[in-house]
Amino acid sequence: MNLLVLLVIVAALAALQLVATRWVTVNRLAWMAVWWVAIYLGLAYGINPPLPSSIIVLFMAIVTLALAVYLSADSDELASAVQTVTAFIVEKRFRVALLTVLAVLPLLVALKVYTNLSNPPQPPSSSRTIHPPPPASIIFDGTAIDLATANNPYRELEHTDPAAFAQHVENGRRVYFENCFYCHGDNMQGAGMFAHGYDPIPANFNDPTTIAMLQESYLFWRIAKGAPGLPSESTPWSSAMPAWENFLTEEEIWDVIIFLYEFTGYEPRAQGMPH
């Protein structure tokens, strides 16, 4: 989100509204044009990282359609809108303005074509699904684990045996600092010493949209099966997330999951709630 840009847009809209109610009458069609432009500016400049242009075109098509539906829902509105357009085109007093518009629009189109052609071409960008639905079950070291019901077997120790739980946290810390921090960073912000060489970049566990909204069984799947376990909408071919079943035991994986939550202060999402 680029809050500043969005604020400016909202402020401009509000100011226009004020002017319109006080001093001049702005007709419905003009209002719709203003909205259209405001939404476009918001999408194009108000969002960070920027949306791909194909997505913006898609959104704007929807917006255009919605505005058209809105206008035609009321036949008076529609008639008055049609009247305005007709007046602009046929009445003599608008002749100069009309000719200017007729001349300027093709020039704008030509300019757009020029900038499109002179921009360096962009490589195909992959939009990937970050949290695809997990499989129903996985095979770990020869045994099947049902992801819908699997629980972290050491989680309950937190209440029943804090000393034993602390040992699992410590073991998780060891696993993390032997294996994970090169990518996910020693502070779990996804900024490890090798993170700059991988694309997509490693997950940031401090971000509320990663482990904070996932179940422990989901993490178990992601950690055990890594990138190769992802479905194709999540671009398994480019993710650097290793399949830790090649290196770690089941207990070590549950322990490192406990450590991720302990270190970041988040709680895992309870079993049974949808992802």
Partner 1 sequence: MKQYVLFIAALVLPLGALGQDLGTPEQLQSGAALYEAKCAHCHGAAGDANSVATAYLRPAPRDFTSGQYKFRTTGSGELPTTEDIKRSIRDGMPYTSMPLWKGILSESEMEDLAYYLKTFSGDFDGPYGNPEVITIPRAPTYDEGNLARGREVFEANQCADCHGENGRGNGPSALDLEDEWGYPIRPADMTKRWTFRASATREDIYRTFTTGLNGTPMPSYQQTIDEQDRWALVDYVWSLSEDEPNYGTVVTAVGTAGALDISQGAALFADAPRAYFPIVGQLIEPGRSFYPGVNGIAVQAIYNQNEIALLLSWHDMTAEVDGANHPGLVVPPFDPATADTAAGPFSDALALLWPAETPDGLERPYFMFGDAKNAMSIWFTDLATDSAAVLMGRGSASIAATGATLAHYASYEDGAWTVIMKGPRQFDSGLYMAEAAFTPVSFSVWDGLNQERGNKRGLAAWYHLYLLPMETQSAALPMAKWALIALLIELLLVGVVHWRHRRSAT
Considering the rule CB under 8 A, would residue 98 count as an interface residue with partner 1? Answer: yes
Considering the rule CB under 8 A, would residue 66 count as an interface residue with partner 1? Answer: no
One residue of 1, 142, 246, 265 binding partner 1 per CB under 8 A: 246
| Contact criterion met (CB below 8 Å) for 235 and 215 | no
CB crowding 174-208: b at 16 or more within 10 Å, else e: ebbeebbbebbbeebbbbbeebeeeebbbbbbbee
Whichever of 39 and 241 has its CB closer to ligand HEC, that residue is 241
**Residue position matching structure tokens 């809108």:** 81
Partner from partner 1, ligand HEC, none contacting 258, C-beta within 5 to 8 A by type: none
The residues binding ligand HEC (CB under 6 A) are 131, 175, 179-184, 186, 198, 200, 202-203, 210, 219, 222-223, 227, 239-242, 244, 256
**Residue position matching structure tokens 């294996």:** 179
Torsion of the alpha carbons at 141, 144, 150 and 151, rounded to the nearest 10: -30
Residues 6+ apart with CB under 8 A from 241: 183, 202, 203, 222, 226, 227
Whichever of 9 and 180 has its CB closer to ligand HEC, that residue is 180
Stretch that binds partner 1, among 1-9, 53-61, 160-168, 180-188 (CB under 8 A): 180-188
Q: How many CB atoms lie within 10 A of CB 261?
A: 20
One residue of 199, 208, 231, 249 binding partner 1 per CB under 8 A: 199
Partner from ligand HEC, partner 1, none contacting 110, C-beta within 5 to 8 A by type: partner 1
Name the token pair of 35.
């909205």
**φ, ψ (nearest 5 deg) of residue 137:** -150, 160
Considering the rule CB under 8 A, would residue 78 count as an interface residue with partner 1? Answer: no
Instruction: For the CB of residue 189, give the shortest distance to ligand HEC in the complex, in Å.
Output: 12
Binding mask 31-50 for partner 1 (x = CB under 8 A): --------------------
| Contact criterion met (CB below 8 Å) for 185 and 191 | yes
Partner from partner 1, ligand HEC, none contacting 184, C-beta within 5 to 8 A by type: ligand HEC
Packing angle, helices 216-225 and 250-264, rounded to 10? 120
Instruction: For the CB of residue 12, give the shortest distance to partner 1 in the complex, in Å.
Output: 28
CA 177 centroid distance within chain: 30
Q: How many CB atoms lie within 10 A of CB 130?
A: 10
Partner from ligand HEC, partner 1, none contacting 199, C-beta within 5 to 8 A by type: partner 1
Partner from ligand HEC, partner 1, none contacting 256, C-beta within 5 to 8 A by type: ligand HEC
* Residues lying near partner 1 in the complex (CB under 8 A): 85-86, 89-90, 98, 102, 105-107, 109-110, 112-114, 117-118, 121, 123-124, 126, 173-174, 176-178, 181-183, 185-187, 189, 191-194, 196-199, 226-228, 232, 235-238, 240-242, 246-247
